Structures are given as C-alpha cells and as structure tokens.
Amino acid sequence: MNPLQIVVCAGIVPDPLQTLEPTTGPNGPGLKNEMVLPAVLDPWAACALYEAAALAAKHPGSKLWLVALGPKAKLQQVMMTVAQKVAFELVPVDGPIGGFPDAHATAAALASAIESIAGLDRASLLLFGGWESASRGAGVTLQLIGERLGIADQFFGVDEISLRDDGSFEVLERVEGGKHQVSVCVGAPAVLGWATGNLAEPRNNPQVGMANMRTIMPALQKAKTAALDANSLSYVSVSLPKQQRTTHVEKNLTPDEIAAELVAWMGKDS
C-alpha cells in the first residue's frame, strides 16, 4: 500500500474544567477573559490526530499535517503540549478563537490553508478532524472543507478505520441507537470526522516534542492571517443557562429506604 497523506484539522478550545462566561465585544460574542483561559486541542480532533498518527506509523513514508486556526499565541501554548504526543507538521492559520465565528468562513480559511500545503497529493488525501468541536459544536466545518476540496466520500462519527492493501478501507460510523454503520470505500480521497476512536491518549515523548518544535515555531512565525466573514450570522442573545436546581442532599437514609424512594420515583410520570 502507498504511503498515506493525512491532514488533520483541529481547533483549540478552553480547557473543559474552566468556567465560561459569555461577553459581547465589538466583533460579536465571545468568552470573558478568553485569551487567558487555558486552552487544549479540541478533544474529538485530538482523537483524530492520534488515530492519524497511528495509521501513519503503520505505513512508512506517510505524512501527517495538523492544520489549526487560532491566535498564534494560543496555538503556540497548546502546541507545547500536543507536540509531545505524536509527530506532525503544523500548518497554522492566525485567526480568531472561539465557537462564535461562522463555520462557513472558518471552513474557507482552512480549505485555503490545505490547498497551499506544498507536496500534498490531494488524490491521496485522507482529511481527518473531529466530527464536532467542543466550541461551536456544529459538525459542519470539516464537511464544508471536504466539499470545497471536491472530496465526494465523507464519514462522520468515525470510531474505526481499517485500511486494506489495495487502498480501500472499511469505516465504522456512529449512527442512532448505539450502533455503527459499516461502509467500504474504494480509497482516498475521503473525509473522516472522528468521534472518540479506540486509542488512548499517547504519553508525552520529549524527543518527539523537540523534533516537532523545530518546525512548529517557524511555521507559527509565518502563519497567514485569516479574517472570518460573518456570512450574515448575527446573535440575538448569548447567555448562560439559568441555574434551576435546588439540590436536596440526603445523608440519613438506609440503602433500603433509598432504593424504595428511587423505585417510586422511576415509576412516577414526570
């Protein structure tokens, strides 16, 4: 089988343990103190990156690019960690952070960045990413990039891909009811929007990190800036959900009493 050409699209998002508070600025909604919130690589996209690296490792000569859009300073911060996980070449795009910019504009900027990758064989391209982000959570950016790149086979909610010697692959996509749909595609190019996959997060490897950082820092310095068009999207309101629950903490019931209460609760119509 030929070496693989894998491009992973991944955004950066606030660490999920952070408290988020929306604010409205001159450019529309955003998060309070967004630039100082600790950030991580988008979780589902990170799964895509690890799966891509595992595939590339199995096929000598394969190439792996990570295309990421965000403010350069935040990208650099996140890459200090991500770079220690797996080997890749970063293609950064300097642009706004957050889930509120329009997905169509984000897709256009990322597609343009992929088109500009020197040496990328688009006919052999496997375009990876998360099936949804943890910020906008729309699940459309990767699909729009694929459409812009003219890729006619797309798969979302992917948990597994099995490559065959002839270049074809079997792919498992999540569908309703806790099942996977099984498809066989004749081969690249294809888009795969990953769910969690099956791999654990790789351990940090300082040697991989040092090798990656040699190319990451120059790439960040040369990153092109993307201004994202709103595409007529406007926000009527952005708010935190109201805290509605008054929690009753029950410390003094026996297991029998709790069980009886739970069974009665389960039987009641809500």
Partner 1 sequence: MESILVLTHADESGSALTRHSLEAVTAGKELAARLGAPLMIGIVAKHANRAASAVLNAGPRLLAVQGEAFAQARFASDAAACEALCRAAQATIVVAPQSSRFARVMAAVAHRIGGVIDTHITAIGSTDSVEATRWFYRQRIEAVITRTARPWFLLLDSGTHEPYCGEEGNAQVDEIAIAVELPALRTEVTGFRAPQQGAQTIRPDAKLLFVAGAGWTKKQPDGEVHVEEAGKLILGFLRASGASLGSSKSLVDQGGEGASVLPFLTHLNQVGQTGATPRHAKGLSTCCHGEEPHVVGWRFIGERRAISLDANCGWTRGKADVVYIADAFQVMAKVNELLAKS
Site for partner 1, residues 192 to 211, rule: CB under 8 A: 195-200
Q: Of 62, 77, 68, whose CA–CA distance to 46 is shortest?
A: 68
Q: How far is the CB of 260 from partner 1 (least distance, A)?
A: 7
Binding pattern for the stretch 83-102 against partner 1, x by CB under 8 A and - elsewhere: ----------------xx-x
Identify residues 23-42 at the interface with partner 1 (CB under 8 A).
Answer: 29
User: Is residue 134 part of the contact set for partner 1 (CB under 8 A)?
Assistant: yes
Residue 43's CB: how many other CB atoms inside 10 A? 17
Q: Which of 149, 185, 208, 217 binds partner 1 (CB under 8 A)?
A: 185
Q: In terms of C-beta density within 10 A (0-12 exposed, 13-18 middle, 19 or more buried), how is residue 250 classed?
A: exposed
CA angle 205, 45, 220 (to 5 degrees): 65
User: Is residue 166 part of the contact set for partner 1 (CB under 8 A)?
Assistant: no
Q: In terms of C-beta density within 10 A (0-12 exposed, 13-18 middle, 19 or more buried), how is residue 158 classed?
A: buried
User: Is residue 164 part of the contact set for partner 1 (CB under 8 A)?
Assistant: no
User: Is residue 57 part of the contact set for partner 1 (CB under 8 A)?
Assistant: no
**Per rule CB under 8 A, count of chain residues that contact partner 1:** 87
Q: How far is the CB of 192 from partner 1 (least distance, A)?
A: 11
Q: Are 128 and 6 in contact (CB under 8 A)?
A: yes
Closer CB to partner 1, residue 140 or residue 219?
140
